[in-house]
Amino acid sequence: MTKIPGNRRQPLLRRRDLFGRSLACLGVAVARSLAGILFIAAGSAFAVNLESGQYFLADMSTNDLRDVYEFQAYSNDTVLIRVANEDPYMLHVPDVLIYYQNRATDPYSNQFTASLTQQFSISKFSLAITNNGWFNLYCDLPLSLYQYSNPVSYSVSMLRMPEVPLSYADLDVGFVQNGQSKYGIINVGADLDAATFPVSNRCTVQFRMGQDNVALVADIQLYDTYGRIVTNDYPPEYRSEVTATLTNTGIYTVSLNDFFNGAGQYAVSMIKIGDSSLSTNDTDLGMIVSGETKGGTIHAPGDLDAAFFSASSGDVVQLTMTEVESDVNPVIELYNPAGARLKKTSDVYQISAVLTNTLVTNGLFTVICKDAEDRKNNVHYTLTMEFLAGSPSLYSIPAVPSGLSATDGTYSNRIDVTWNTVSGANGYDIWRSYGTNDPIQLVTNETSTIYQDYDVTVNVVYYYKAKARNAYGVSTNYSNTDSGYAGTAVAAAPTRRALVVGIDNYSPSYGATPLTTTTNDALGIRGTMLLGDPSNRWSSTNITLLLDSQATKVMIQNQLHTLANDSSSGDLVLYFHSSHGGVSNVISQPGSLERFPASRRGQSASKGATDTFISTYDADYTDAELATDLALFGVDTSVIVIIDACNSGGAYQLDGGAPFEWLFAERVMAHYHNIQRERFRRLGLAVPKQLGQNIAFMVSSDYDELSWTSSYYSLYTEFLIGGCSLTAVDTSGDDEYSFLELHTYAAAQAAAVVPSQNAQTYNSTLLQSTIARAAGIVALVQTNVFYNDFDADGASDLATFNPTTGRWRIASLKRWLALAWDNFVWGGPGFRPIDGDYDGDGASDGAIYNEQTGEWRIGSLKRARVLVSSVVFGGPGKTPVSGDYDNDRISDGALYEQPDGFWHILTATGTQLVDGVSYFGAGFTPVSGDFDGDRRSDLAVYQEGSGNWYIGSLTNGVIAWGKMWGGTNLVAVSGDYDADGTSDLAVYHRYTGAWYIYSLKNSATLVSGALLGGAGYTAVPGDYNGDSYDDLAVYQESTGYWFFLTVNGQSYSLLYPVGGPGYIPVLPMW
């Protein structure tokens, strides 16, 4: 037989059978007997030394009846032997006999030890050695092949334990460190590889072998420091993973082979549960704390990653492992400090694995992350760990760092960032951003309160912020942000300011008819174009919003004067105005002026037009007056004026005659030039050639056209806002939207809808060179309908209802204005209020519902009209859940039926959107909200007892299923608390007043245990200051007082009763 040794071994010389042909002439049985006697006697002379872990590939035939191998072993050793078939035509393996050579007494004497005959594919032995010395391994041609003329290939391998070095001929895998993954190769079917690792004290270990070659069927067994098998070999099937608690100290061995006789590459990994000292060759994931998300990589098939966290008894921990590439099938296992497995997620294919467990001990817990499929290399995932509401460890999380400061030009090559020490913190995380880039985390667990950033570019302004951390978690919010730079002085970044005006309703003395879209225009421009800028160029503190009665002529002019006074060289000012536009008329008598009514959207105007204006709440704002106000701005401040009003673009069409030019923008600029020329003349200065080039206009229609409305916005403004989320609008490809790019898109789209409306520009050069915002998806999207926004000013109002009298009390905290005070009577006994905008005008309506009769009544406070006098939809056990479920910007009639959990949703047009869909039954509460940001309300329910949330989208499938955030006495108070355009999981403790808020979109805890309210208070969250962030708010019926707390910790209250005994707050769900 011919033998090919593994790796570095030299091939054996072919050994001739001296008796081969004569034996073949004898009877088979006699030949076999004689051959055995002769070869046993001469075994040592022909034997090949077989070292631990080494393999040989050989042939057997009638010309070579036996191969002899020898190996050395000692008493108490364990020896594994495998012999495998390698032949493509025959499945036989050699008959195997093993003898002990007692060389001490007779070098040629042999003691029978073990044998296997007539085997197919594989033969394997596990020998418990009782004698010191050498052993012979005989591989004989099976009797059934004595008449077969061709050679049959096979392989053989031996592994010896414990603590026996591997042969240099095959060193796979050798020593494995905690958390490390290593590759190996099963070279032939019989190949036995080994991995070893030390144990210094009692511990639980998980070892995994993954196939990098699909031909392999991984099979491992674990042996202790004495060579005794640790793994249970029942059932007798292959295994690719072993988890065992080890009690002996010393070197443990894992045998690695293919369960059958395959060959190929594999990888192994080992985790010592509770030992956070991971191998430097694979540092995923390490210590993790509440509120933190870490990235991990499955480097090789079989790779095991470990995370560790400290916790206290009573903590409720939630772990979420989410694939980054679709090749990962996440699996999580959680172990307690004693090494006992607490829970494991399902291996069923999933994008995310979520594990929630209530801990009953203190100490260091271990999380093992792995891929269920185990066949991929270098695939990525994230792991998020958090303590849920009510966990004791939440009270140990450190506060937010304060006093963060970065140096401004102090050093030529670095920026020093400092902050105040936080009690209970043992480290700090530092984040940095610059320009329009998103913040990146520079360092984790900085132990001092100073960080020196050398990775900077001279004269570039960077922005820094920090969080504090300890063993339990990171602070809920960031510190203050401060800018810094290295090198010479850097000029302050230009400031952007905006005045945004929208007027639907006008003073009765002014006489203009109401509109329905202009306040929505203003809110959309503010929320999407400006505050939705991903680069955060526009700050809410620099944006003034004037709606309806706020937008008087004097107020608008005062705001423009303030903007002119605050602006300096390089600054940008935006003035957006959506309202009526009109003309004044000169009658036949010289010097006699007659004012014609403002030109309405969709109405024609009168003859003799000579003066042009835009409408404010109470007066005309003429082109000359606007020019005077624009002249107050410095010539080095850029001013962009956007007007969506009738005939705002050019000339005015006289009834029955030739067009008379109504050049509003041109007239404004003509007046502007006259004013500025006179100013320069008085100063004795030459008029600059570029005078007025700092001002540009974007207007919604041409001189002889009307500006049209759409269902929610005005037509031109609708496409201005819509273009902010379309990358195709960025025609220059610089990832920025210039004002001209947005205008060009909006003008074309509006003209496609209404060919007679053609938007215009003035000074397109400035519009092209001025960036409005960054391109891409809107980073900040205002909620489609604000909770309890009865005046459409972009802020929630204080709203209460008396079920006995049907009287309403509503006040705007933002505007400090009473909107209704017992004079609005709508409803009575049996009715309760439900929030919602049921006519799409951007304002909440007075909607009431009688559960016993199923009757709805809806009235518009903004429009002072009845929308629905009476309609029956519902009945006993069916409660309303406010929301826009079809994204038409109009609240739908939505009901949740107890105890069966059925949903019934009827759109404003009468379409049955949902009827009879059910997730669960009794014990669940419906929750109003848009949890995936698609601007459609979702079907969301919350179970108070377990704290589990189940949320489904009508368009995007399951959003959350069994997500735990809450518990007993914690009621759902969902809202958008981080202004990311999606509703958050929020709960409020009805007795202690503790709030817990979690961002589902960002996988982050926003509020943990903040106290506001308690017994006697009702939670009424909403955006009461109009900053796009929902606030924590409670109402006390006994006094009518309201109390507020922002997410960043600022508290305020209204100690004036808006409500009182008998008045209940208006809520989005019951």
Give the tens place of pLDDT for each residue, 629-664: 999 998 889 999 999 986 543 323 333 333 334 467
Domain of residue 446, residue span:
397-484
Q: Helix, strand, or coil here: 710?
A: coil
Residue 1040 counted as domain residue: yes
For residue 469, the cross-strand partners are 427, 474
Mean pLDDT, residues 131-155 taken together: 93
Residue 783 counted as domain residue: no
Instruction: Please tell me the least confidently modeled range out of 96-105, 598-607, 868-877.
Output: 598-607
| 303 and 438 within one domain | no
| 828 and 698 within one domain | no
| 810 and 747 within one domain | no
- Residue 87 binned pLDDT confidence (cut-offs 50, 70, 90): very high
- End position of a domain, from candidates 161, 193, 225: 161
Beta strands in 478-625 (DSSP E): 482-484, 496-502, 543-547, 572-578, 581-586, 593-594, 609-615, 620-622
Mean pLDDT estimate for the chain: 84
Residue 581 counted as domain residue: yes
| 79 and 7 within one domain | yes
User: What DSSP letter does each residue of 365-423 carry, written as one string?
Assistant: EEEEEEESS---SSEEEEEEEEEPTT-GGGGGSPPPP---EE-BSSSSS-EEEE----T
Instruction: Please state, for a pLDDT cut of 90, what percent of the chain lies above it.
Output: 48
**pLDDT digits over 909-967, tens only?**
788 888 876 766 677 899 999 998 888 899 999 998 889 999 988 888 888 888 889 98
Instruction: Note the pLDDT of residue 496.
Output: 94
| 405 and 369 within one domain | no
CATH (domain of 725): 3.40.50.1460
Instruction: Note the pLDDT of residue 435.
Output: 60
| 808 and 923 within one domain | yes
Residue 477 or 405, more confident = 405
**pLDDT digits over 795-844, tens only?**
899 999 999 999 999 998 877 788 888 888 999 999 999 999 998 777 89
Query: What element of type H or E holds 999?
Result: strand 994-999
| 513 and 447 within one domain | no
Burial of 585 (C-beta count, 10 Å sphere; 0-12/13-18/19+): middle
**pLDDT digits over 594-614, tens only?**
333 333 333 333 334 467 889
Residue 805 counted as domain residue: yes
**pLDDT digits over 887-914, tens only?**
877 899 999 998 888 889 998 778 888 8
Most confident of 376-380, 861-865, 924-928: 924-928
Is the pLDDT at 684 greater than 50? The verdict is yes
Instruction: Note the pLDDT of residue 36.
Output: 45
| 214 and 281 within one domain | yes
* Beta carbons within 10 angstroms of residue 346's beta carbon: 10
The amino acid at residue 57 is L
| 770 and 643 within one domain | yes
- End position of a domain, from candidates 359, 382, 405: 382
Burial of 131 (C-beta count, 10 Å sphere; 0-12/13-18/19+): middle
* Sequence-distant (≥ 6) Cβ neighbours of residue 719 within 8 angstroms: 745, 746, 749, 750
| 177 and 149 within one domain | no
**pLDDT digits over 741-760, tens only?**
999 999 999 988 888 888 88
Instruction: Note the pLDDT of residue 811.
Output: 92
Contact 691, 640 (CB under 8 A): no
Model pTM above 0.75: no
- Count the domains in the chain: 5
Residue 1039 counted as domain residue: yes
Instruction: Please state, for a pLDDT cut of 70, what percent of the chain lies above it.
Output: 86
Mean pLDDT, residues 2-15 taken together: 38
Contact 573, 637 (CB under 8 A): yes
Residue 1070 counted as domain residue: no
**pLDDT digits over 760-805, tens only?**
888 888 999 999 998 755 433 444 446 888 887 778 999 999 999 9
Residue with tokens 């809410």: 540
Contact 938, 1001 (CB under 8 A): no
- End position of a domain, from candidates 161, 192, 221: 161
| 909 and 768 within one domain | no
Instruction: Note the pLDDT of residue 338.
Output: 94
**Residue burial 666-698, b: 16+ Cβ < 10 Å; e: rest:** bbbbebbeebbeeeeeeeeeeeeeeebebbbbb
Residue 960 or 347, more confident = 960
Residue 607: C-alpha distances to residues 645, 702, 704 (Å): 19, 18, 13
Mean pLDDT, residues 506-528 taken together: 88
Residue 782 counted as domain residue: no
